[in-house]
Homo-oligomer: A and B are copies of this chain.
């Protein structure tokens, strides 16, 4: 089950950190994506609860990119077993097409969870959540500039006004009959994180935007955690992967990932919610 696996992965490594495996060839010393990912995984596997390859980067490299993704997934399964693999694919289609996407993500790639875009409604989520042992993480409030144009729009439903992202969160809670849905909320939106947490109970929240994207950690953690100080997945990609572009990149990646883990754990500890509880 997705929630059990996430909780277990978090607990074993005492970590709410996810490393986004987003290979940018020009920043990789050897130019070999799989070898790079391997080094990053070896260096960070004791400090994370999840890895999150974004499929865009692999698709952009064509066949060798997809091969590198396949090898990366297999490597994590073998050498970092227990750590979750989130396919950051932001898929979202309708009917047979979406059934096919769910099959691609969960059966072909074998991801533990995927990110999805729910603009087409419940039908764009259901074929994924029908895989009851996998997680489905719905885009709610993204971390990019200009994301407010739709996500903060004031919408009216049953005579109640709210921003669209909040309505997406409320719908996702309603759709969560298999208990395997989660939400994406950017680290830079503390108010929205707190609002979504109040709506979604103990649902996991994937929080991108720490590090390169400039989100402030303390506020994100404090706003995002559930009452037990868990169920957030703090993602960092470039600030870990490319902490150094020299031959010490793996060492620097480990240092940065461990630093992020420790910083989060300190915030939890201050709130009386550390891992021994």
Contact = CB atoms under 8 A, between A and B. Distances in A.
Interface of A: 22, 24, 54, 56-57, 59-63, 66, 88, 90-98, 100-101, 103-104, 107-108, 117-124, 139, 142-151, 153-157, 161, 164, 167-168, 171, 213, 238
Given A59-B108, A66-B66, A119 B139 contact: yes
Which 3 interchain pairs have the tightest Cβ spacing? A59-B104, A94-B144, A56-B100
Given A56-B100, A155-B164, A167-B150, A92 B93 contact: no
A238 B93 CA distance: 16
A120 B97 contact: no
Contacts of A104: 56, 59-60, 62
**Number of this chain's copies in the complex:** 2
Contacts of A146: 120-123
10 contacts: A57-B97, A59-B100, A59-B108, A96-B238, A117-B117, A119-B119, A153-B157, A155-B156, A155-B164, A156-B161
A97 B56 contact: yes
Contacts of A157: 153-154
A103 to B, nearest CB: 4
Given A54-B93, A118-B150, A119-B150, 14 more contacts: A22-B96, A56-B91, A56-B104, A57-B97, A61-B108, A92-B117, A94-B143, A94-B147, A117-B117, A121-B142, A121-B147, A123-B147, A150-B171, A154-B156
Contacts of A147: 94, 120-121, 123
B123 A150 contact: no
Nearest to A24: B96
Contact of A120 (B144, B164, B171, B238): B144
Contacts of A103: 60
Contact of A153 (B97, B156, B213): B156
Nearest to A95: B144
A164 B153 contact: yes
Nearest to A144: B94
